Chain A
Amino acid sequence: MTWLSDDAVVRLRDVAMRPDFDGTRYAIVREIGRGGMGIVYEAIDQELQRHVAIKVLPAGNRREAQIIAELEHPGIIPIHDAGMLVDGRTFYVMKLVRGSTLAEKPRTIAEAVRLSLRISEPVAFAHARGVVHRDLKPSNVMLGEFGEVLVMDWGVAVAGTPGYMAPEEERTPRSDVFALGVMLREFVGSDRLPRRLRAIIAKATSPLAADRYASAREFGEDLVRFLDDQAVVAYPENAADAVLRWLVRNRALLAVIVAYLIMRIAVLLVWRR
């Protein structure tokens, strides 16, 4: 039997899966990403003379393209074209987004919550159309060079990724909420979180699906309430909590009142002498 060097094995592994786009308007430039289900390439659309991203999927797998085609949202990369290679694999063509996946942690709690909120928006949009992502995780979120937050790899994962995968077997919007909660927890870290935020994370990542937010929209709405210093669904407040939150929310006004009172007292004291 022929002996193959380690380098030859690496080359064969690579070229054997390199898609053959002969007879199409696309020419491959380079591989830009690889997951269990498919490989993403940068390519040139020779007809329109523009760079695009092409995802090549296992044979017979048209579902992902069909799902995304239904989801027109600024947080979801739009599809331009789809087709089949000569070997039976399917592919779809999408806008090439130059950016990066979530490599850096947000610097503040508010930034982290806002990022989670923006990730939850396309997911909420998909949930409203009956689509469950099934594999939400930081590497499936991309930050565009103009600050866009884009969610990728829709609805094709069989099992999800350990750590982000809800414990129940059935994949529903609540299992996406679980992953959103895990990501939020990672973004904010564990240092001295506000009680209301801790409660949001705990509700989103509850082991019992029924205890979680029913959809990404409900999760996002609670994040907005948190950012606006309003009461959140995840945290039932008592009177003291409500007063404290009111004080924090109106801290600027309070500061003005206190400053005014101090000034009045000072003036009064000076006058009485």
Chain B
Amino acid sequence: MPGSLFPTTRRSVIEALRSEDAEERTRAYGTLAAIYWRPLYKYARIIHRRNAEEAEDLTQSLMLQAFERGALENYDSRRASFRTFLRTLFDRLIINQDKHASRLKRGGQFAFTAAEDELQREDNRAVNPEEYFQRQWIKSLFAMAVDRSRESMEPGTFAIFKSYDLEGDATYARLAGEHGVSEMTVTNRLAAARRRFREIALELVREITASDDEFRREARALFGVEP
């Protein structure tokens, strides 16, 4: 269905964060937190050179502040993307950070240890802050789209997609042998999986942007070209 390119069914979570309904706000917070906490944590570690504990506190602190009701009143999607708005808030928070402030109680909300492991495996050569944050945002968004793809695809199709596109070490012939299907079937399943992945990634961008314009800009940042 051609219309599936611009999913409009889901309400933007940015809008939902301003809702009167506490439950809707919580759901919206969940999606945004899932996408943004990793990029923010890594950004504090790599760009602001904070140690792991400080980066954890800063990330949690921003999450609490930014997603409190009323905190997003200043956000205007015509002026900047939500991603840039959030990064700017974070920069300000880090600059104003009171070194003697009482430490936040670190809970189990975010898997900081996992993020720290990831940092060891990633190329963290210094690039400019915006580029770095964008790169991490893309990674986080794609990771979430992969998770949603796993849930929505038939397991055999996802396994082919995972081997070929995520791990990048498979051939059509090997996958055909492993799955007991023809190479043509592998080709078709891979094409279907990629299409579904793309739809899901675009749905996600739609969810975390506040306007059509912002959606197009962010989809372009994600794919390098307007979808």
Q: Is there an interface contact between A4 and B198, defined as CB atoms closer than 8 Å? A: no
Whether, in the assembled complex, A145 has its beta carbon less than 8 Å from a beta carbon of chain B, the answer is no
Residues of chain A within 8 A (CB-CB) of B167 are 8
Chain B facing A: main interface SS: helix
Question: What's the least CB distance linking B147 to chain A, in Å?
Answer: 6
Type the 1/0 row for B63-77, where 1 means its CB is closer than 8 Å to any CB of A: 000000000000000
Whether, in the assembled complex, B194 has its beta carbon less than 8 Å from a beta carbon of chain A, the answer is yes
Distance between Cα atoms of A8 and B123 in the complex (Å):
13
Q: Is there an interface contact between B220 and A13, defined as CB atoms closer than 8 Å? A: no
Type the 1/0 row for B146-168, where 1 means its CB is closer than 8 Å to any CB of A: 11001000000000000001111
Q: Is there an interface contact between A38 and B3, defined as CB atoms closer than 8 Å? A: no
Whether, in the assembled complex, B142 has its beta carbon less than 8 Å from a beta carbon of chain A, the answer is yes
Task: For chain A, residues 80 to 95, give those with C-beta under 8 angstroms from any C-beta of chain B.
Answer: 84, 86-89
Residues of chain A within 8 A (CB-CB) of B118 are 3
Q: Is there an interface contact between B2 and A13, defined as CB atoms closer than 8 Å? A: no
Q: Which of A20, A22, A34, A89 contacts B5 (CB 8 A)?
A: A89
Whether, in the assembled complex, A59 has its beta carbon less than 8 Å from a beta carbon of chain B, the answer is yes
Query: How many positions in chain A have a CB within 8 Å of any CB in the partner chain?
Result: 31
Q: Is there an interface contact between A58 and B121, defined as CB atoms closer than 8 Å? A: no
Residues of chain A within 8 A (CB-CB) of B165 are 8, 11-12, 15
Q: Is there an interface contact between A88 and B3, defined as CB atoms closer than 8 Å? A: yes
Q: Is there an interface contact between A2 and B143, defined as CB atoms closer than 8 Å? A: yes
Query: How many positions in chain B have a CB within 8 Å of any CB in the partner chain?
Result: 41
Whether, in the assembled complex, A37 has its beta carbon less than 8 Å from a beta carbon of chain B, the answer is yes
Question: What's the least CB distance linking A160 to chain B, in Å?
Answer: 16
Distance between Cα atoms of A31 and B166 in the complex (Å):
20
Q: Is there an interface contact between A12 and B195, defined as CB atoms closer than 8 Å? A: no
Question: What's the least CB distance linking B42 to chain A, in Å?
Answer: 12
Q: Is there an interface contact between A39 and B225, defined as CB atoms closer than 8 Å? A: yes
Whether, in the assembled complex, A16 has its beta carbon less than 8 Å from a beta carbon of chain B, the answer is yes
Q: Which of B135, B143, B220, B222 contacts A1 (CB 8 A)?
A: B143
Q: Is there an interface contact between B220 and A11, defined as CB atoms closer than 8 Å? A: no
Question: What's the least CB distance linking A237 to chain B, in Å?
Answer: 49
Residues of chain A within 8 A (CB-CB) of B198 are 16-17, 87
Q: Is there an interface contact between A17 and B143, defined as CB atoms closer than 8 Å? A: no
The closest CB in chain A to the CB of B219 belongs to A58
Q: Which of A4, A18, A86 contacts B139 (CB 8 A)?
A: A4
Type the 1/0 row for A1-39, where 1 means its CB is closer than 8 Å to any CB of B: 111111111011101111010100000000000111111
Q: Is there an interface contact between A87 and B2, defined as CB atoms closer than 8 Å? A: yes
Q: Is there an interface contact between A59 and B166, defined as CB atoms closer than 8 Å? A: no
Q: Is there an interface contact between B139 and A15, defined as CB atoms closer than 8 Å? A: no
Type the 1/0 row for B1-14, where 1 means its CB is closer than 8 Å to any CB of A: 01111100000000
**Residues A36 and B220 in contact in the complex (CB < 8 Å), given A4-B139, A59-B5:** yes
Q: Is there an interface contact between A88 and B5, defined as CB atoms closer than 8 Å? A: yes
Q: Is there an interface contact between A8 and B168, defined as CB atoms closer than 8 Å? A: yes
Residues of chain A within 8 A (CB-CB) of B224 are 13, 17, 34
Distance between Cα atoms of A34 and B6 in the complex (Å):
22
Q: Is there an interface contact between A2 and B122, defined as CB atoms closer than 8 Å? A: no
Q: Is there an interface contact between B197 and A16, defined as CB atoms closer than 8 Å? A: yes
The closest CB in chain B to the CB of A58 belongs to B226
Q: Is there an interface contact between A15 and B194, defined as CB atoms closer than 8 Å? A: yes
Distance between Cα atoms of A167 and B167 in the complex (Å):
48
Task: For chain B, residues 7 to 44, give those with C-beta under 8 angstroms from any C-beta of chain A.
Answer: 34, 38
Q: Which of A3, A20, A58 contacts B191 (CB 8 A)?
A: A20
Distance between Cα atoms of A11 and B194 in the complex (Å):
11
Residues of chain A within 8 A (CB-CB) of B34 are 1
Residues of chain B within 8 A (CB-CB) of A86 are 2, 195
Whether, in the assembled complex, B227 has its beta carbon less than 8 Å from a beta carbon of chain A, the answer is yes
Distance between Cα atoms of A36 and B197 in the complex (Å):
21
**Residues A12 and B142 in contact in the complex (CB < 8 Å), given A34-B225, A87-B4:** yes
Q: Is there an interface contact between A1 and B166, defined as CB atoms closer than 8 Å? A: no
Distance between Cα atoms of A39 and B3 in the complex (Å):
20
Q: Which of B146, B195, B223 contacts A87 (CB 8 A)?
A: B195
Residues of chain A within 8 A (CB-CB) of B144 are 1
Chain B interface residues toward A at CB < 8 A: 2-6, 34, 38, 114, 118, 121-123, 135, 138-140, 142-144, 146-147, 150, 165-168, 188, 191, 194-195, 197-199, 201, 220, 222-227
A-B contacts, 25 of them at CB < 8 A, read A1-B143, A2-B146, A2-B150, A2-B166, A3-B118, A4-B139, A4-B142, A4-B143, A8-B168, A9-B135, A9-B142, A11-B165, A12-B166, A13-B142, A13-B223, A16-B201, A17-B224, A20-B191, A34-B225, A35-B225, A84-B2, A87-B2, A87-B195, A88-B4, A89-B5
Q: Give 4 closest A-B pairs by Cβ, nearest first.
A: A88-B2, A88-B5, A16-B198, A58-B226
